[in-house]
Chain A
Amino acid sequence: MTEHLLSLLTFLPLVGMIVVLFLPRDNGPLLKGCTLVVTLIVFLASLPLAFNDVFKTSAEMQYVEFVKWINIGDYFQMNYFVGIDGISLWLVMLTTFIMPIAVLSTWNAVDKNIKGFMALSLMLETAMLGAFISLDLFLFYIFWELMLIPMYFMIGIWGGKNRIYAAVKFFIYTAVGSLLMLVAIIYIYYHAVQSGINIDGFSILDFYNMSMEPELQTLLFLAFALSFAIKVPMFPVHTWLADAHTEAPTAGSVILAAILLKMGTYGYVRFAIPLFPEATQQFLPYLALLAVIGIIYGALVAMMQEDVKKLVAYSSVSHLGFVMLGIFALNIQGLAGGMLQMINHGISTGALFLIVGFIYERRHTRAIADFGGLAKVMPVFATVFMIITFSSIGLPGTNGFVGEFLILMGAFASELRWFAVFATTGVIFAAVYMLWMFQRVMFGKVTNPANEKLDDLSMREMALMLPLLLFVFWIGIYPNVFLEKMNPSLENLIKQSTSKQHVAVVEVEQPSLLTLNK
């Protein structure tokens, strides 16, 4: 069982999707319930991963599965090659953890085409899990692109007023980058073939050991980096995010923020950096600069937003900037912080989107100006909101702090010292925009009569938030549980990205393959 655990996790939602497709379309609760059950089963099934202590000591891939998939001799080979290490472990866990919450959040929010929504959610889960566990670049790419489809429909069908623009923008923006990555992936493969190393399909583990001349690395790195940067999103390719987040339905926003954005950062950690260590070194300052710009820029823009959801969206730009900075610190603190911050951002921003969803469901508006004084009407909600707000700000004791602290610490200990100084100002701005928003929404007198009789959080909504709150404090107070399992893999990553020796590859004249009539 355990040797197929990852496949089980990944494809269980797909099975669930097929089941959902055959359920009656009018029976909303059944559809939702079925989806919820499937996602919960996936979550439960993924728990053994989290409790496996092997990650504490080993940087090796675990739960590896290897099946030959496409094998065209000397043309190319692709394999179904999956496995996780301490880096992907927590992202897999995050995915399985967030999905039930996202599904549960649709209970009242999604009322048309429920079947479609549920099926797409499950498809999305498969795609996301697949992307996190893939060790074959080709396989990864398949899942990576597959993610776009359900999200596109989620935004487009169940989204807000401007949904069409947002959906198309999301799709094209993210697809453009990944298409270039596809070319780069192919190129890497043939480069590996040419350089004569022993490769097993598109296995990244083999590509890690390949040496490439720096100029080549530069090109390939740029292709990968662009693709991932769009997904992260880094300044200046972030503008799809605001629209997509704003227009997406709550569950969509939650998934988008909590998991999809992590694809980009994960991509850097898993692919871009270890595959192209020298190019990474070369572009490090620029990417770090973009990350820092993202931090400050996202914060400043978030500050002036009039729409709660947009504000949260821009705050994501800022937070992901931190993650990127931590990753590019390329030391253990920075990377661990970055990884942890990915999880944190998933939890906190996911929760923020849920919160925005709660008030949107009640008032059908997201404009900050339409609210005010909600703390009086909805005290429990206010408490939850406050905790999440402070988690997002990065108050010590909550998860946000640990991540940000490690990132900044790591960045400071690396060559990115000056970037870290500027990034630290993000700590101030985070407080400004979050608290200002919080004040305008929650504090003051209830001026809008529509706000006078809002229900406080229901049991279901509390059930959504409680697990998130648990992790807010857990990671804040005892992050070692998470850190100790990612450390070996991260240390391995640092070793890979720094100690790889590069020997110039002798140019092999490509033999003409056309031996057809000559």
Chain B
Amino acid sequence: MDTSLVQQAIDNVNFAAIMPALILCVVGMAALLIGVFSKRGRTFHISLICLFGLVAAGVATVGGWNQPYQFGFSGHVALDNFARFFNMTFIIGSILTILMSDDYLKREGYPISEYYPLILFTTAGAMLMASGTDMMTIFLGLEVLSVSLYVLAGLFRNQVRSNEAGLKYFLLGAFSTGFLLYGIALIYGVTGTTNLTDIGNYFIYHPALLTNPMTIAGMLLLSVGFLFKIGAAPFHMWAPDVYQGAPTPITAFMSAGPKAAAFAAFLRILLLALGGLENDWTSLLWVLAVATMTIGNVIAISQTDIKRMLAYSSISHAGYALVGIVAANEIGISGIMFYMLAYTFMNLGAFAVLTLAGKKGENNLTLDGFAGFGFKQPFLGVAMTIFLFSLMGLPPTAGFAGKFYIFAGAVKAGYLWLAVIGVLNSAVSLYYYLRVMVYMYFRDPNEEFEWVALKTGAVISIILAIIGVLYLGILPGGVMEMAKLGLF
């Protein structure tokens, strides 16, 4: 009995299926150890190690592209193209984050070596979410990600805003976890399993269960949990505060990677496990998508703090991405994948500019603080402009291609009005994005404007982001094709 058990366990192990996450975890732990033995305040080499880890994970991901699916661990993970695509998104997000972080942390006075491993663990958690095919894996991946993010958000422990961000995120995140778990429990009760494929199959054979209040309630409570992570209304309210209070690179990271991870997991659950409830969740998400993008865009208009404004903009982008889920067709889903990648580039790029533009304490990241910025710092100005245009969704940028992709899905699925509302929302969003540019270029700088030095890491991340934004904007074909192949 013992041997067979061991054999069974060994048979189930398939490292290939978790390779990218594995690499990140190993490198993360190594970096932690090295950090312990490094001189306090020296973090650069740690960041390099972590970058290396990310690149390695990237190689592992890309190397497996279009290879057969890797299942493993008793159906707990599946490294398919869907996961690989999202993994690339996470890796890119993390790389850009780490690049912009080092000088930022030093400037703000928190050269914490554990920071980088935590980012790696977060990324690993995100990867597990994206490739998890069991509620349990997804939940644990989510928790790894969340717990790391609680820590990262509250990283600046002597800064009240950072504390507050971390604490708020923690309290609300834990609260939402309660709903998520309750939802999972109910689904488990109805189907007797937590494996997504099994759940889906079970519903196929027992279609009567699809109208059971417990099933629906389970689906909805589960959605609440994910919608919270995505930042969809009315579960979005943590986002602006946390984004504003968290360290800027973390804000950037949070709004890209974890959000994409939540989308990935949400998509998998909805499509694999709850595909039978399509009518229910599309109608729900229809409303929530509209609410999310409207609230995000409308409130962003009256913001003066750029970080907070981008936080609201991030909410509205989540709303656009939800449109893809509502469409619930191939184009919409590939669209979300593409959009998340595009959003990673443009949003991280914008935040990278902010990390450079800010001064210690970051009290100057307001619209007024940006007056005349474009001419004083031409490079950052142009970069910010490109990112903002991309966020607006104007061609030829990634944002446009992404929006086009998603709205194409919605239109094809017949959600014409949703697409119309979406584009009208984009019109509203023009106003506040343009206002940043108004301040950057059309206003004279304040008296006390000081030139801020460009830091290599952040500049590299900005350049990478610009390349990404323009490449995805002008020649999106390849990546769009990849997103298409990424359907599971």
Do A and B assemble together? yes
State the A residues within 8 Å of B (CB). Answer: 69-73, 75-76, 113, 138, 141-142, 145-146, 148-149, 152-153, 156-157, 163-164, 167-168, 171-172, 175-176, 179-180, 182-183, 186-187, 189-190, 510, 512-514, 516-518
Q: Which B residues lie within 8 Å of A148 (CB)?
A: 394
Extra contacts, 13 of them, besides A146-B394, A175-B430, A186-B411 (Cβ < 8 A), are A70-B477, A72-B484, A76-B408, A113-B375, A142-B395, A145-B395, A149-B394, A167-B442, A179-B424, A182-B423, A513-B330, A514-B278, A516-B272
CB pair A167–B197 under 8 Å, yes or no, is no
Compute the total of residue contacts between A and B using a CB distance below 8 Å: 128
B404 at the interface (CB under 8 A from A): yes
Nearest Cβ on chain A to B136's Cβ, whole angstroms: 19
Q: Which B residues lie within 8 Å of A168 (CB)?
A: 431, 434-435, 438
Nearest Cβ on chain B to A503's Cβ, whole angstroms: 22
Distance between Cα atoms of A175 and B330 in the complex (Å): 28
CB pair A517–B442 under 8 Å, yes or no, is no
**Contact with A146, one of B396, B414, B435 (Cβ below 8 angstroms):** B396
> With A183-B407, A513-B330 as given contacts, are A172 and B442 in contact (CB-CB < 8 Å)?
no
> With A72-B477, A72-B481, A514-B328 as given contacts, are A163 and B407 in contact (CB-CB < 8 Å)?
no
Q: What are 26 sample pairs from A and B whose C-beta atoms fall under 8 A apart?
A: A70-B480, A72-B484, A73-B481, A141-B395, A145-B394, A148-B394, A153-B437, A156-B442, A164-B442, A164-B443, A175-B394, A176-B427, A179-B423, A180-B423, A183-B407, A186-B407, A190-B408, A190-B412, A510-B412, A513-B329, A513-B330, A513-B331, A516-B272, A516-B275, A517-B200, A518-B276
CB pair A149–B389 under 8 Å, yes or no, is yes
CB pair A518–B204 under 8 Å, yes or no, is yes
B416 at the interface (CB under 8 A from A): yes
B101 at the interface (CB under 8 A from A): no
CB pair B477–A172 under 8 Å, yes or no, is no
CB pair A180–B430 under 8 Å, yes or no, is no
CB pair A182–B407 under 8 Å, yes or no, is yes
B419 at the interface (CB under 8 A from A): yes
Nearest B residue to A74 via CB reads B330
B413 at the interface (CB under 8 A from A): yes
Nearest Cβ on chain B to A403's Cβ, whole angstroms: 33
Q: Which of A72, A167, A186, A516 has the most CB of B within 10 A?
A: A72
CB pair B430–A171 under 8 Å, yes or no, is yes
B166 at the interface (CB under 8 A from A): no
Nearest Cβ on chain B to A123's Cβ, whole angstroms: 11
Q: How big is chain B's contact interface, by range?
A: 35 or more
Q: Which A residues lie within 8 Å of B427 (CB)?
A: 172, 175-176, 179
CB pair A517–B484 under 8 Å, yes or no, is no
B297 at the interface (CB under 8 A from A): no
CB pair B329–A517 under 8 Å, yes or no, is no
Q: Which A residues lie within 8 Å of B247 (CB)?
A: none
CB pair B404–A72 under 8 Å, yes or no, is no
Nearest Cβ on chain A to B288's Cβ, whole angstroms: 19
Interface residues of B in 427-464 (CB under 8 A from A): 427, 430-431, 434-435, 437-438, 441-443
Q: Which A residues lie within 8 Å of B271 (CB)?
A: 514, 516-517
Distance between Cα atoms of A516 and B413 in the complex (Å): 16
CB pair A171–B434 under 8 Å, yes or no, is yes
B488 at the interface (CB under 8 A from A): yes
Q: Which A residues lie within 8 Å of B435 (CB)?
A: 168
Nearest B residue to A25 via CB reads B378
Nearest Cβ on chain B to A124's Cβ, whole angstroms: 14
Nearest A residue to B204 via CB reads A518
Q: Which A residues lie within 8 Å of B419 (CB)?
A: 183, 186
B191 at the interface (CB under 8 A from A): no
B86 at the interface (CB under 8 A from A): no
B476 at the interface (CB under 8 A from A): yes
B344 at the interface (CB under 8 A from A): no
**Contact with A73, one of B395, B438, B484 (Cβ below 8 angstroms):** B484
Q: Mark B249-291, 1 if CB is under 8 A from A, else 0.
A: 0000000000000000000000110011010000000000000
Q: Which of A76, A163, A164, A516 has the most CB of B within 10 A?
A: A516
Q: Which A residues lie within 8 Å of B276 (CB)?
A: 518
**Contact with B197, one of A71, A72, A171, A517 (Cβ below 8 angstroms):** A517
CB pair B430–A145 under 8 Å, yes or no, is no
State the B residues within 8 Å of A (CB). Answer: 197, 200-201, 204, 271-272, 275-276, 278, 328-331, 334, 375, 389, 394-396, 400, 404, 407-408, 411-414, 416, 419-420, 423-424, 426-427, 430-431, 434-435, 437-438, 441-443, 475-477, 480-481, 484, 487-488
CB pair A510–B395 under 8 Å, yes or no, is no
> With A164-B438, A168-B438, A172-B430 as given contacts, are A516 and B488 in contact (CB-CB < 8 Å)?
yes
CB pair B480–A75 under 8 Å, yes or no, is yes
Nearest Cβ on chain A to B20's Cβ, whole angstroms: 23
> With A72-B484, A73-B484, A156-B441 as given contacts, are A183 and B423 in contact (CB-CB < 8 Å)?
yes
Nearest A residue to B426 via CB reads A179
- Lowest 8 A-B CB distances belong to which pairs? A179-B423, A513-B329, A70-B477, A142-B395, A517-B200, A186-B411, A156-B442, A176-B427
Q: Which B residues lie within 8 Å of A164 (CB)?
A: 438, 442-443
Distance between Cα atoms of A513 and B327 in the complex (Å): 10
Q: Which A residues lie within 8 Å of B431 (CB)?
A: 168, 172
Q: Which B residues lie within 8 Å of A152 (CB)?
A: 434, 437
Q: Which A residues lie within 8 Å of B475 (CB)?
A: 69-70
Distance between Cα atoms of A518 and B328 in the complex (Å): 14
Q: Which B residues lie within 8 Å of A517 (CB)?
A: 197, 200-201, 204, 271-272, 275
Nearest B residue to A21 via CB reads B382
CB pair B426–A514 under 8 Å, yes or no, is no
Q: Which B residues lie within 8 Å of A145 (CB)?
A: 394-395, 400
Q: Which of A152, A163, A164, A179 has the most CB of B within 10 A?
A: A179
Q: Which B residues lie within 8 Å of A175 (CB)?
A: 394, 426-427, 430
Distance between Cα atoms of A413 and B303 in the complex (Å): 56
Nearest B residue to A68 via CB reads B477
Q: Which B residues lie within 8 Å of A512 (CB)?
A: 329
Distance between Cα atoms of A167 and B439 in the complex (Å): 12
Q: Which B residues lie within 8 Å of A149 (CB)?
A: 389, 394
Distance between Cα atoms of A148 and B427 in the complex (Å): 13
**Contact with A187, one of B411, B426, B442 (Cβ below 8 angstroms):** B411
Nearest A residue to B476 via CB reads A70
Distance between Cα atoms of A85 and B358 in the complex (Å): 53
CB pair A182–B404 under 8 Å, yes or no, is yes
Q: Which A residues lie within 8 Å of B487 (CB)?
A: 516
Q: Which A residues lie within 8 Å of B408 (CB)?
A: 75-76, 186, 189-190
CB pair A75–B331 under 8 Å, yes or no, is yes
Q: Which B residues lie within 8 Å of A75 (CB)?
A: 330-331, 334, 408, 480, 484
Q: Which A residues lie within 8 Å of B430 (CB)?
A: 171-172, 175
CB pair A190–B411 under 8 Å, yes or no, is yes
Distance between Cα atoms of A510 and B410 in the complex (Å): 13
Q: Which of B395, B441, B477 has the most CB of A within 10 A?
A: B395
Distance between Cα atoms of A76 and B332 in the complex (Å): 12
**Contact with B438, one of A141, A156, A510 (Cβ below 8 angstroms):** A156
Q: Which A residues lie within 8 Å of B442 (CB)?
A: 156-157, 163-164, 167
Q: Which A residues lie within 8 Å of B484 (CB)?
A: 72-73, 75
CB pair A510–B434 under 8 Å, yes or no, is no
Distance between Cα atoms of A179 and B426 in the complex (Å): 8
Nearest A residue to B417 via CB reads A183
CB pair B396–A142 under 8 Å, yes or no, is yes
Nearest A residue to B199 via CB reads A517
Q: Which B residues lie within 8 Å of A69 (CB)?
A: 475, 477
Q: Which A residues lie within 8 Å of B404 (CB)?
A: 138, 182, 186
Distance between Cα atoms of A76 and B335 in the complex (Å): 12
Nearest Cβ on chain B to A89's Cβ, whole angstroms: 25
Q: Which A residues lie within 8 Å of B480 (CB)?
A: 70, 72, 75
Distance between Cα atoms of A334 and B296 in the complex (Å): 47
Q: Which A residues lie within 8 Å of B334 (CB)?
A: 72, 75
